[in-house]
Amino acid sequence: MENISPQSKRLKEFVNLTGYSLNEFAKQCGIASVRTIAKIITEGATPTSKVLDKIITRFPQLNHDWVVLGYGEMIVKGLQTQETSINSLEKSSESSYQYIIQALRDHDFALNELSKAVEKANDKVDVTAQLVEKTSEQYLKEQKERAQDFLEKNDLRSMAQEKYVTVELEGIRNEAKRVEIENRALIERLDHERKERNQENFDKLSNKVRQHLEDSRKMFLQLIKEEKKDVIEALSNIIHDRNEESTKRLIQQMNDNAVKQTDFAIKRLLEKFSLKKLIPNLGLPDKVSNPKHQK
């Protein structure tokens, strides 16, 4: 690239110092087409006065004479090691003033836009707050209605359950009374039947005892009758014999017969008057597993 102008080289150095890309640098300087900057920086074209004025307007610290003539330093400073032309300073100063004024205008515009945005945001916040408040009130109202409805239904359920429990308890009490009455009637009936059975058994026992006593009396009378014959015979022998030995034998025989008769009578009475023989089931309860099943 032998046709690269010195102005192009110096502007390229400044662009590199800013760190902007060519596209961003063109936007910063208000140059509509990035191609204009590209022709200067990459192709070496000499910048026109109009383009250079836009660059210095955006970057007033850039020394106009340095770009055009290579005179002085790239950046305008308060103290110069080399003199800067009056024209360059005027252009740089004018560019600085114009930049400051433009910056203030932009700042005022930005503040105005920001104020409008803040006002819109506040309006939106107010609307949102009103909506939230209205929604919250509606939500609280609905929740209150739901809670009230729940409490009313819960009260109704509690009343129904209490009524149901009361009815069930009353039914249980009535059933208990009925069962108690039935049990008492059953106990009285069983007791009456037991008394009747005991009376019947007692009557049977009394009859059997009287019968056995009668039989025993007859038996004793028979024994006495037989013994009387033996006594009469023994007395007859005594009368004929008239001796002491016979008298002793008679007395001994009478004693032996009396003992035998007594033993015999006691044995017979014990055998015939045994309660197990007379009434085998006397005093034994009927085997009934459930009193209700007894007929």
- Please tell me the pTM assigned to this model: 0.30
Model confidence at 191, pLDDT cuts 50, 70, 90, reads confident
Please state, in angstroms and rounded to a whole number, the distance separating the CA atoms of residues 122 and 130: 12
Number of C-beta neighbours around residue 257 at 10 A: 16
Average pLDDT over residues 79-87: 43
Burial of 63 (0-12, 13-18, 19+ CB in 10 A): buried
- Provide the b/e sequence for 157-169 (b: ≥16 CB within 10 Å): eeeeeeeeeeeee
* 84-102 pLDDT, tens digit each: 445 555 555 554 455 445 5
| Cβ(12)–Cβ(48) below 8 Å | no
Q: Which domains does the chain have, with CATH numbers?
A: 6-84 (1.10.260)
Q: Please give the backbone phi and psi of residue 238, each rounded to the nearest 5 degrees, phi first.
A: -65, -40
Whole-angstrom distance between the N-terminal and C-terminal Cα of the chain? 138
| Cβ(95)–Cβ(57) below 8 Å | yes
